[in-house]
Amino acid sequence: MKFCQQLIGSVGCIFLLGGSRAEAFMTHLIPGHEYLTLFALEQLQNNDDPLIRHFYGTPLGNIDYLAHPLFEGNTLVDFPGLNRAFGEQLLQILLGEAWDQLPRVEQEAIFLGMVRHDDNYTQVMNFTRNYLGIGKEEAVSAHTSCTLSQNFIKEAVLEAVRAMAAESSPLPESMISERRQRKQTGLKFVGAALHTLQDSFSKAHTKRHSETWLIEDVCSYRLAYLGRNLETGLTVGCVHTHFPFEKDFGGGSLVVDDQIWNRGQADCEIHENGRLVKSFACLKDETQMAVVVTRDFLVFLVPILNEALWQRPIDYDNLETALTNFLRTYHPDPALMAAGQGIMGCDRLADFSPHTHFDPRPPEVQPVTIDVEPVPFP
């Protein structure tokens, strides 16, 4: 218990040990996604195009979810109750008409605190394997679950474009502030899409190739599933656990693998505004790659979002095709990209069948003390 309290505080420890409210790369309680997005924004400052350098702006103040609309979108995927109206929009993007058909009590449960990783409705936003049915007796295939998460990223960006292009009739003196409001709203949706994209680089959420970074599996949350792979027969999907001593079937744990920093590093810290802060070099390899992909996705979106902001005509069919192509084929390695091996792609996943849950009782998690020095956060 002592370690949990050092790690994320007593409230976060309730989430961790309770077995239901835990989130990759953490937001709000401990900044994680916000740092990944911040480093991506900083790297944009090296771009030769002035529009790319300046379009997203810079965060105001410390790392906080309200310091930048992209940060807020990052955070509201985890904590939709912090902005109920926007949170409902995210759930409508995710579920469509099914959101309005949910019983009120189930809707309210999603807004109580941190979203649940064992919740069928929100797993797609966190790039974990989506369960089927209330009894969680089946999980969809890795290929299908990956595609669902891709679709959420696309739909969140499409909503961002609609928000920026929204028609209004402002007074002449309010046109600048009105445009700023449309931009901030749109960037929140982009931030939500980035959350899902960044989660795909957590070793507790997906299994990626050690050299090419291509997705090889999508992990289920604490439940092991047995399925059928077209090439190799029966398979067990990777599992997202709480602690590293739980049997993970090739997945990763919340305590170790959902943290963005390399533990025990000090030489990577830099002096900034009179204090010592962690730099990009302090990140793990996978979270550095998440920053690179976040940066390049933001670059890709700038001309699209700028057209919408100035309310120029948008061909949404072409836009959706462009987003699909980016998610299927983009890779920071030019050779892999030329071969159509996208770092966010789902096409190479060989697991095409639903997985049947074969372990109805996940291991009991008791309060423990782990002899690991927690990473200090600036």
Q: List residues bridging with 278 in a β-sheet.
A: 269
DSSP H or E segment with residue 356: strand 355-357
Strand partners, 276: 271
Is the pLDDT at 274 greater than 90? The verdict is no
Taking CA atoms, 350 is separated from 141, 159, 166, 228, in Å, by 9, 31, 41, 9
b/e 124-146 (16+ beta carbons within 10 angstroms → b): bbbbbbbbeeeebbbbbbbbbbb
Tracing tokens 């602690």 back to the chain, one arrives at 243
Alpha helices by DSSP H, 69-111 = 69-76, 84-95, 97-101, 104-110
246 or 343: which carries more pLDDT confidence?
A: 343
Copy the structure tokens of residue 73.
């979108």
- Could you report the per-residue pLDDT of 56-105, keeping only the tens digit for each? 998 877 788 889 999 999 999 999 999 999 999 999 999 999 899 989 99
Contacts of 55 (CB under 8 A, 6+ apart): 302, 305, 306
Residue from 107, 119, 118, 120 nearest 80 by CA: 107
Handedness of CA 320, 208, 128, 41 (dihedral sign): negative
Whole-number Å distance between alpha carbons of 91 and 214: 28
88 residue type, one letter: E
Helix count and strand count (H, E) for the chain: 13, 12
Tell me the two tokens of residue 204: 């507790």
pLDDT for the residue numbered 90:
95
Contact 249, 239 (CB under 8 A): yes
Rounded to an integer, the average pLDDT of 320-344 is: 96
* Residue 26 pLDDT class (50, 70, 90 cuts): very low
Tokens found for residue 374: 């927690």
pLDDT tens digits, 215-260: 999 999 988 888 876 666 777 788 898 888 787 788 888 888 888 9
The phi, psi pair for 277, rounded to 5°, reads: -130, 160
Q: What are 307's two structure tokens?
A: 């057209």
Work out the number of other CB atoms within 10 angstroms of the CB of residue 56.
Answer: 21
Position with higher pLDDT, 161 vs 351: 161
Q: pTM of the full predicted structure?
A: 0.85
Q: pLDDT-derived band of residue 352, with 50, 70 and 90 as boundaries?
A: confident
131, β-bridge pairs: 139
